[in-house]
Amino acid sequence: MISTNLITDSSLAGIAEKVKNNQRISDDECLTLFEKASPGFVGSLANEVRFRLNGNKVFFNRNFHIEPTNVCVFSCNFCSYSRLYAKKEDGWELSIEQMLHMVKKYDGQPITEVHIVGGVHPKMNLQFFADLLKAIKSHRPELHIKAFTAVEYDYMFRKAKMSVEEGLKFLIEAGLDSIPGGGAEIFDPEVRKQICADKVDTDGWLAIHEAAHNLGLHSNATILYGHIEKYEHRIDHMRRLRELQDRTNGFNTFIPLKFRNQDNDMSYVPESSVVEDMKMYAIARIYLDNFPHLKAYWPMLGRQNAQLSLSFGVDDIDGTIDDTTRIYSMAGAEEQNPSMTTEELVALIKQVNREPVERDTLYNEIRNFNDQPDLSVTTS
């Protein structure tokens, strides 16, 4: 922890004192951190919060992704992944049988989660996805299904002429266990209009997650940063999430997602630097005092930068993934073939003297590797 006696800026000293005393910082103080604080300063404060919440534990899980389709009715300017439905020749559309085959590939392996997200395909409706969930649960009942972004829910519920609550209950009965945080992008309406004007708006995204929390589902939250937004927009985004978490306590983790500029309509926007990335993680950890976890999605950042983020308030680096996602690799992410074995994840965490803990989706601890002998690194 930085000694407040060594801080010459009184505003930063006051923020440091509040963090030390476990007090919530304001939006104005958050802006001060973005504008005035050094990476080392915010990193130190963020680690104070991280240690208070989770000690030296760094969490990961054994998971894989299913991406049913990259064909999408929406045209987000930042997206390098989707193919418009009208121009779907180079897209993919998986059947339930094909997706169930992907699940069966992990039979006999200690996978705990399948993460299902994709484009918004007009022919993949609510019943289609309910049948998919039922098929997965019938084959492997204990597998946790974390599925569909608020963007996908909004479209499928409206098309089915169901309310959000009705649609979520329908999918819960089919096997839905929790919700990922995608589709949040940036909540400011003017910025959102410029980068993703045609999909679910801010109020819709928040309402879907609030309804899920009220039905007993946990969810994650994200932000897409480092494009045309300003610091004020990042703070506004986090404030809305903090307020919802105050009401429901339903969010598991916050995941800052770095904008990648390859092969999309915003390729002219330069990407943020690693220094800016680390400040974003640290300030998010400080500001979102009611979020129990902060995740760095290692396929997007790359292994080394994900490891670096552990010094900036991060306590989760996602999971093994097994090269089952293309969303960020298609946008130019550091990891073009994202897959790490459990041994590699454990080694990466131990290298920075943190405590590797395998978790399930809801952060129940499965295995603590801290007292285990170092495992040999494999490339499988």
> Rounded CA gap, 165 and 144, in Å?
21
Query: How many CA atoms does the CB half-sphere of 1 hold within 13 Å?
Result: 17
Rounded to 5°, the CA angle 341-347-348 comes to 90
Please state, rounded to an integer, the average pLDDT across all residues of the chain: 88
Q: Tokens 């552990």 identify what position?
A: 310
pLDDT computed for residue 302 by the predictor: 86
- Residue 323, pLDDT above cutoff 50: no
CB-based burial, 53-72: b 16+ in 10 Å, e otherwise: bbebbbbbbbbbbbbbbbbb
Distance separating alpha carbons of residues 149 and 182, to the nearest angstrom: 5
Whether the pLDDT of residue 268 is over 90: the answer is no
Q: What is the separation, in whole angstroms, between the first and last Cα of the chain?
A: 40
From the number of C-beta atoms within 10 Å of its C-beta (0-12, 13-18, 19+), residue 19 rates as buried
How far is Cα 184 from Cα 205, in angstroms, rounded to an integer?
Answer: 7
Q: Answer with the residue of higher pLDDT: 88 or 132.
A: 132
Q: Domains in the chain, ordered, with CATH? A: 4-368 (3.20.20.70)
**Residue 326, class by beta-carbon neighbours within 10 Å (0-12 exposed, 13-18 middle, 19+ buried)?**
buried
What is the band of 240 on the pLDDT scale with cuts at 50, 70, 90? very high
**Confidence at 270, pLDDT banded by 50, 70, 90:** confident
Taking only the tens place, the pLDDT of each residue in 107-158 is: 999 999 999 998 888 888 999 999 999 999 999 999 999 999 999 999 999 9
**What letter would DSSP give residue 124?**
S
Give the rounded percent of residues in the chain with a pLDDT score beyond 90: 71
Q: Say how far apart CA 118 and CA 136 lie, in whole Å.
A: 17
Note the pLDDT of residue 47: 97
User: Which range has the top average pLDDT, 83-87, 118-122, 264-268?
Assistant: 118-122
Ranges assigned E (strand) in 226-322: 251-258, 293-294, 316-321
List, in sequence order, every residue forming a beta bridge with 251; answer none if it has no partner. 219
Residue-wise pLDDT for 1-42, tens only, equals 555 444 557 899 999 999 999 999 999 999 999 999 999 999
pTM: 0.89
Helix (H) or strand (E) run with residue 278 in it: helix 274-287
Q: What is the mean pLDDT of residues 189-217?
A: 94
Residue 191 amino acid letter? V
Please state the rounded mean pLDDT for residues 77-85.
Answer: 54
Which residue has better confidence, 349 or 329?
349
